[in-house]
Structure 1
Amino acid sequence: MTTSPDLRRLADPFPPEDVDWLPGVTTKDKTKALAFPYVKNAAIMDRLDAVCGPENWCNAFKSGPDGGVLCGISIRVTYADGTAEWVTKWDGAENTDVEAVKGGLSSAQKRASTQWGIGRYFPRIPQQWVPLDKRGRFVETPRIPAAFLPKGHQQAAPTPSSGDGGARPTPPTPRAGERRIVRTTGANDAERRARPQG
């Protein structure tokens, strides 16, 4: 028996603001794509901090086969008799086309976190076809069914695309002790920038 935190909590669903989406297979006319969810790396680290404590987990990276990268996520498990050991689970990914090293590290950590149950439910989310704009980006943020949201959590209405290659993320909810400063650009700001000087 362990006295470690309940590691099953690592597998809890994420709120929509911690989830991003990638377009997958498209229709022949390229107007819709299957939406594939993935969890943001910051949310993975926040989950590990919350469940294990920041001092009770760590990650390590090493070169994988064919230029890829492996990530190991280690969690300290403490037993009832007071002894403890580090348990590591590994997974890997290829380097990506854009920001190859950073993308490879990020993908490897996401895959290693799945070994601990983090985001492992994503393949069970029903597939959905989501409209694309002419540049192949989602027109609106895909929706997560209620069964795959944290208890008592509701997803806001779909939001339009941000135009940056993916769906516009839901603004993050500040965590305890955190403040967010948001600056919006109004019509007057745009007019001021467009106005000739002098």
Structure 2
Amino acid sequence: RVVWRVQQSGFSKQGKPWAMVLAYMDNRAVQERFDEVFGIAGWKNEFKTAPDGGTLCGISVKFGDEWVTKWDGAENTQVEAVKGGLSGSMKRAAVQWGVGRYLYDLPTSFAQTSLEKTDDWNKVFDKKAGKNFWWNNPQLPSWALPQNPKVQNTKADFTEEEIPNPPKLYVVGKDKKE
């Protein structure tokens, strides 16, 4: 599941709204993807305090009888500091496993915008102009769309031969380097 957020927005000299948007994954997408690929008992996470006061997250995946862990960290956030630090560190640890890594390769996207309220579109309040406008989520490029929405391996019951080549963990899409 890909989520979009506005990075920058404004109005042109002609009064038309614009919004530059970024794609990201939320923490629920990370949890769902690991559940789909490894099953609920085939992965786990743990948290530690980072040296600078942020949060470190380790995501472990079970291959045979062995747990393999990859770590990453994040600072606590301005809003809901602890929750934001936990969520951010887990998303970053998931990228170590390949989940959502392709999102870094997406080009800058500008959303379709409207001054008229449009159902199912997102609302933005532009402080400088003092008014609202609406924007629609862009479409992902074809290389970032799922090639096969069904996950083949849903449990961590891999054979020894499969351990060196674990299944891909991308939230959606396919590694374009393959």
**TM-score interval (norm. to shorter):** 0.5 to 0.7
Q: CA deviation at 1:27?
A: 6.0
Q: CA deviation at 1:127?
A: 1.4
Does 1:44 find its partner at 2:30?
Answer: yes
Q: CA deviation at 1:70?
A: 0.6
Q: CA deviation at 1:33?
A: 3.7
Letter in 2 for 1:146: S
Say if 2:19 and 2:135, in contact at 8 Å, map to a contact too: no
Structure (1 or 2) with the greater strand fraction: 2
Q: TM-score, normalised by structure 2?
A: 0.65
For 1:38 and 1:106, the matched residues in 2 are separated by 13
Does 1:122 find its partner at 2:118?
Answer: no
Percent of residue pairs bearing the same amino acid type: 45
Equivalent residue for 1:150, pick from 121, 146, 149: 146
Letter in 1 for 2:70: K
Say if 2:55 and 2:89, in contact at 8 Å, map to a contact too: yes
For 1:25 and 1:90, the matched residues in 2 are separated by 31
Provide the secondary structure at the position in 2 that maps to 1:54.
coil
For 1:133 and 1:97, the matched residues in 2 are separated by 20
Deviation larger for 45-54 or 111-120: 45-54
Letter in 1 for 2:63: V
Q: TM-score, normalised by structure 1?
A: 0.59
Larger radius of gyration: 1
Q: Which of structures 1 and 2 has the larger relative contact order (alpha carbons within 8 angstroms, sep 6+)?
A: 2
Query: How many equivalent residue pairs?
Result: 131
Q: CA deviation at 1:87?
A: 0.7
- CA displacement 1:31-70 (0-9 Å, x = unmatched): 4343211112122111111111211110000111322101
Residues 67 and 32 of structure 1: CA distance in aligned 2, closer, same or farther (over 3 Å): farther
For 1:28 and 1:94, the matched residues in 2 are separated by 33
Q: CA deviation at 1:146?
A: 2.1
Structure (1 or 2) with the greater helix fraction: 1
Does 1:88 find its partner at 2:69?
Answer: yes
Q: CA deviation at 1:126?
A: 1.9
Q: CA RMSD in A?
A: 2.4
> Which runs of 5 or more residues in structure 2 are unaligned?
114-122, 128-132, 150-178
Q: Which residue does 1:134 correspond to in 2?
A: 125
Residues 61 and 138 of structure 1: CA distance in aligned 2, closer, same or farther (over 3 Å): farther
Say if 1:77 and 1:87, in contact at 8 Å, map to a contact too: yes
**Aligned 1:3-18 pairs, distance under 5 A:** 18=1
> Which runs of 5 or more residues in structure 1 are unaligned?
1-17, 79-83, 154-198
Deviation larger for 137-146 or 97-106: 137-146
Provide the secondary structure at the position in 1 that maps to 2:58.
strand
Equivalent residue for 1:59, pick from 23, 37, 45: 45
Say if 1:31 and 1:133, in contact at 8 Å, map to a contact too: no
For 1:65 and 1:48, the matched residues in 2 are separated by 27
